[in-house]
Amino acid sequence: MALASIDIGLLFEVVWASALAGAVVSVLFALVVLFGARSAETRRAGHGTVSMAYGVAAVISFAAFMGLVVYAVHLMLSKG
Amino acid sequence: MDNDLVLWIVVATALAFDFTNGFHDTANAVATSISTRAMAPRVAVTLAAILNFVGAFLSLQVAATIASGIVEADMITLAIVFAGLIGAIFWNLLTWYFGLPSSSSHALIGGVVGAAFAAEGPDAVIRDGLIEKVAIPAVMAPILAFIVAGTGILVTYRIVGRLRPSTVSRSYRLGQIISGSLFSLSHGTNDAQKTMGIIFLALVANGNLTTSDDIPTWVVVSAATAIALGTYVGGWRIIKTMGSRIIKMDPAQGFSAQGSGAAVILAASHAGFPLSTTHVISGGIMGAGAAKRVSAVRWGVAGNIVVAWVLTLPAAALVGALTYLVVHLFGDGAAGPVVVSAVLLIALGVAMARRVFQGQTLTAEG
């Protein structure tokens, strides 16, 4: 009787939403680190244009990561 | 007069629980940051305390009932709430002493369930609610966090694996400051509300407020202060367990455990399925360690933690039930709560005095 009350659909939603959110967080921050490091390396090697491209990619990745953080705070504050 | 005395004892006990909740759960937000040296220990707990304090003010969506859907709400009395709080405080202190992370929410639910069972019998407990709101989340949270953090660290190593280790470590230490701050803020918006809910209910039950009233400012301030002070004091034994005894983690693993953990908690909460922060971060740490190397996880320590989780509800329930029976021996007045509180305060004072005389710090920092 107790097991019948479990909402399998809800559990499935929790699993995929958590997995997706976790993967996006990991990938975005890893990209920030990767592009930031590549930007510094290419700048030291004297490749200004490539360095700037990596820098822009790092900034975009970081903005997306911080966007997730802001959305997380929004979720915290709007929970019912 | 008698009722007012019981009310203030319940308020003080609720704030004491809030304090233990703070220092018990400090580890969730700061253990990984401290062990990877993303932050100095005192800086980490200070930041966590401030964010817990702020978080308590940001979300005033106070639960109007405790153990909602698990215990029949109309059967809850001030004596049951008092006994339930004592059960939860007992379990928080015991698990802190042994350095074991466990859920303060489950301890509170256990305490109230035990006290309600002792007061009203089995009809007071909603078994389906216990399975749906305690058992399933308790099983699901660590497993889900284990898989998500494990996958996260594998993806991370795949992307940054060829970079210089010093660059990677420095970057992830910065990331940990953000993920740790999110955890602390989330804790403040969640856990201080439990105490506010308990005090609000007590005030309603005593006739000081009605359910439609706003929560008084002093309740918000006192609950926020208690959880922030508890966080600042820091449960160093649990911090040590989570930070270095489960796995020896690098900054990327620390970030993965925290970042994935925060993602799991918020995604689940958004779907209407709140999970224990403690279960999630513990599972995340184990997952981040096992993904690198299964033998990197000290499974003996992990096993002790799981045993503590399994025992949380029955142990807190047992103490809650015993406390209720003792309180009930003295009748329905204030005598029971006064005697129990006095005995516990004396015992706590003796324990603290012994530690001070032995030259130990009260919370065993470092």
pLDDT digits (tens, 9 = 90+) for B13-62: 999 999 999 988 888 889 989 989 999 999 999 999 999 899 888 866 65
Backbone angles phi, psi at B347, to 5 degrees: -60, -45
Count Cβ–Cβ pairs < 8 Å, chain A vs chain B: 132
Q: Which residue has the higher pLDDT, B69 or B238?
A: B238
- Mean pLDDT across B93-116: 92
Instruction: State yes or no: ipTM above 0.90.
Output: no
Give the single-character DSSP code of B124: G
Chain A hits for B61, CB-CB cut-off 8 Å, are 79-80
Cβ <8 Å between A79 and B59: yes
In A, minimum Cα distance to B267 occurs at A18
The DSSP string of A1-63 is: -TGGG--HHHHHHHHHHHHHHHHHHHHHHHHHHHHHHHHHHHHHTT-HHHHHHHHHHHHHHHH
* Environment class of A34 (CB within 10 Å of its CB; exposed 0-12, middle 13-18, buried 19+): buried
The minimal CB distance from A79 to the residues B127, B149, B269 is found for B269
Cβ-defined contact of A34 to B159 (cutoff 8 Å):
yes
Give B353's pLDDT tier (boundaries 50, 70, 90): confident
Per-residue pLDDT tens over the stretch B134-188: 888 888 999 999 999 999 999 999 999 999 999 999 999 999 999 989 888 888 8
**pLDDT of A1 over the 50 cut:** no
For A79, the closest chain B residue by CA position comes to: B270
Distance CA B164, CA A9 (A): 44
pLDDT score of B168: 94
Is there a contact between A33 and B172 if contact means CB atoms under 8 Å apart?
Answer: yes
Look at residue B60 in the predicted model and tell me its pLDDT.
Answer: 63
Segment (H or E) for A73: helix A48-78
**Interchain pair B264, A3: CB under 8 A:** no
Distance CA B258, CA B185 (A): 13
Q: Please indicate whether, in this complex, the C-beta atoms of A14 and B267 are within 8 angstroms of each other.
A: yes
Chain B CB contacts of A20 below 8 Å: 267
* pLDDT tens-digit readout, B268-308: 877 777 788 899 999 999 999 999 888 889 999 999 999 99
- State the greatest distance between any 2 C-alpha atoms of chain B, in Å, as a whole number: 71
8 Å CB contact between A16 and B271: no
Nearest residue in chain A measured CA to CA from B189: A76
Of B132, B152, B272, the CB nearest to A26: B152
